Amino acid sequence: MRRLKLELKQTMEMYSNACKEALTAQQKAVELQRWKLEEERRLEEARLAEEAALAIAEKEKARSKAAIETAEAQKRIAELESQKRISAEMKALMETEEKRKAVNALSGTGLRYRRYAIEEIEAATNFFTESQKIGEGGYGPVYNCLLDHTPVAVKVLRPDAAQGRSQFQREVEVLSCIRHPNMVLLIGACPEYGCLVYEYMANGSLDDCLFCRGNRPPIPWQLRFKIAAEIGTGLLFLHQTKPEPLVHRDLKPANILLDRNYVAKISDVGLARLVPPSVADNVTQYRMTSAAGTFCYIDPEYQQTGMLGVKSDIYSLGIIFLQILTAKPPMGLTHNVQRAIEKGTFIDMLDPKVPDWPTEDALVFAKIAVRCAELRRRDRPDLGKEVLPELNRLREHAESHDHYSMFSGYASPSNQSQVSLDEASSSLPHSGESS
């Protein structure tokens, strides 16, 4: 019995130990399961992090590839732009060289004007006496005298005239190489002392005649239409000169002179500019570093942007035409005439010193002038195709009325040489050609 109790006690102790070991094993199994789950979680996080890193790497790779492609495209564009710039610079250099050669040809020994000695001019003007002075401008004074038994006007470069020397040279270059009935004729010059000798224009400037300065009689409407057509013809000649078009840049009534027969001639081309043919043919404008001309007559686009073209002169022409009709100052004239046309009161804008205006023709002329004076260059009409044909029609209508042939000092239009559109398209002769 005692032995059985001892064995039972031993068995109970073994059972107790077995339970404890089983519990310990179970706890270790739980811990192992927890560790396994933790490891699985960590592995999943590592896998997700790896996938995220791979995705970011793919994005960065794609972004890098796009950046490389963009950089290569920019490089190709830059190369093309560089080629274009080099091509444009070469073209500009070629045009500059051509212009230099043309100007050199004009300014060489072949210039067709007589060289006067300063002594001859001093003797003719009585040493520039005030009694023979007939005008004064920004360039300098103008004197009336006789040279070679011919009435002439001598324009003298004032020593302090701004850019006067370059304007003098330009005027010699242009006028010595062109001949046209509506351009003032340069007879000679004294380059050393800045003197230009022109044909004498007995009736002075259009500005003086419109405003009846010096007790001048008012110009009849027939003469005004004829003068307008002559100004347009002379300007078209400048715009169609070869090898390069000429833009006057300073058209105004003071620079339109009238001879003894009231034939209008354009003067003061000292500010004229040669426009490169490629510019004139394609975009009709050329950038200048600074605008030149007279306030109220300057093309607004040219004044703001420096972009010069033949239509820059058309704006000035429109203002001149409006003054021919109204004999009013240029400030705000386009707006006032346009308002009067819209309100039906245009007749009140016409120069009251002319009593017999042909209202319908005057209105047609005014509408042409207003179109010429549009603020935007693209809205202005073409001189040769639109403006001049209408001006010639108005001139023919004026010539059918013989009243103005009786005007003091004016010869009958039948005795005047009429300039056709073909004549207006004459080219600028080279220095080797005869005048």
Instruction: Enter the tokens of residue 323.
Output: 């003054």
Q: Can you tell me whether residue 371 is helix, strand or coil?
A: helix
In degrees and rounded to multiples of 5, residue 367 shows phi and psi of -65, -40
Of 207, 208, 250, 281, which is the active-site residue? Answer: 250
The H or E element that residue 51 is part of is: helix 2-107
Q: How far apart, in whole angstroms, are the C-alpha atoms of residue 350 and residue 324? A: 9
Q: CA 116, 192, 106, 140 torsion: positive or negative? A: negative
In degrees and rounded to multiples of 5, residue 286 shows phi and psi of -150, 125
- Alpha carbons within 13 A on the beta-carbon side of 180: 33
Q: Can you tell me whether residue 295 is helix, strand or coil?
A: coil
Q: How far apart, in whole angstroms, are the C-alpha atoms of residue 275 and residue 247? A: 7
Q: Is 324 exposed, middle or buried (0-12, 13-18, 19+ CB in 10 A)?
A: buried
Nearest to 153 by CA among 218, 205, 192, 211: 205
Nearest to 169 by CA among 125, 104, 253: 104
Q: How many residues does the chain have?
A: 435
Would residue 422 show up in a list of annotated catalytic residues for this protein? no
Residues 370 and 316 sit within 8 Å (Cβ to Cβ): no
Tokens 């033949």 locate to 310
To 10 degrees, the CA torsion angle through 193, 197, 203, 205? -50
Q: Which residues are catalytic?
A: 250
